[in-house]
Amino acid sequence: MKLRESPIYHEQQSFWLCAKHSLNNVLQREVFTHADLERIAKYLHELHPEQSGWLKFNSHKNFLGFGYYDINVIIAALNEKGYDLLWHDKRTGIEDADLSGCVGIIIHIQPDWFFRRGHWFALKHFDENLTVPKVPTTYVGEPRAARSISENEEREYEPKTHDPGFWNLDSKLRHPEYIGDRELLNAFLQKLSKRNRLHILLVVPSVDHTSASSSQPPSSLSSSPSVE
């Protein structure tokens, strides 16, 4: 089975476009392009130019145009397509989060030192059994530099079928990774939160929400929102 035959849409990391990859991986197709997010970031900047300070750079993205979009761009992009972003209240356990009607989960890992940037990545539940290529973590005896994209695309892998469950669609992964059921998802997020400062965001269809979750970003994220 070849990688392109996988039923899971998975964009891999390019420049600092992890916001775009997360959005498209959650929605399972190329809904947003680089140009789309540049347009949204420009609109937000023109709406509130005072947020950029005296330098006048667009605070919602990298000034060179390589991505690095902030949370406001993600919220506006989802709103364009009829979705909201709900913030899981970190005062409650992830096991208490209501995932009914949730299209997907976007994780924000905050930067914790100067050389480590923040990162967006997506998790998603699939309701059906999925047969995907069984890709090893490393190729024994084959240097990484020798493996081109075309070689990976043409390589034949053993197929493996997984039960319905949650998948990690992080753009920094070479292929989607199966997490499992809700209990295993809870364990995955709990382990992740012990090693990183993170926010858990739920992508849902746009309706009025009155739960403990909020559509407004917490101050810790809105004050320094840029990520890869």
Answer whether residue 84 shows pLDDT above 70. Answer: yes
Tens of pLDDT, residues 136-191: 765 444 455 445 656 666 788 889 899 999 999 999 888 899 999 999 999 999 99
Measuring CA to CA, which residue among 195, 125, 130, 197 is closest to residue 166? 125
Question: Where residue 62 falls among pLDDT bands split at 50, 70, 90?
Answer: low
Predicted confidence at residue 51, as pLDDT, reads: 64
Measuring CA to CA, which residue among 58, 14, 52 is closest to residue 38? 58
Question: Where residue 224 falls among pLDDT bands split at 50, 70, 90?
Answer: very low
Predicted confidence at residue 16, as pLDDT, reads: 76
Main-chain dihedrals φ then ψ at residue 166, nearest 5 degrees = -90, 145
Answer whether residue 227 shows pLDDT above 80. Answer: no
Predicted confidence at residue 146, as pLDDT, reads: 45
Predicted confidence at residue 102, as pLDDT, reads: 94
Query: Which residue pairs from 210-216 have beta carbons closer than 8 angstroms and sit at least 24 positions apart in sequence?
Result: 211/86, 211/98, 212/89, 212/92, 213/86, 213/87, 213/88, 213/89, 213/97, 213/98, 214/86, 214/87, 214/89, 215/75, 215/84, 215/85, 215/86, 215/87, 216/87
Per the confidence metrics, is the pTM higher than 0.85?
Answer: no
Predicted confidence at residue 27, as pLDDT, reads: 95
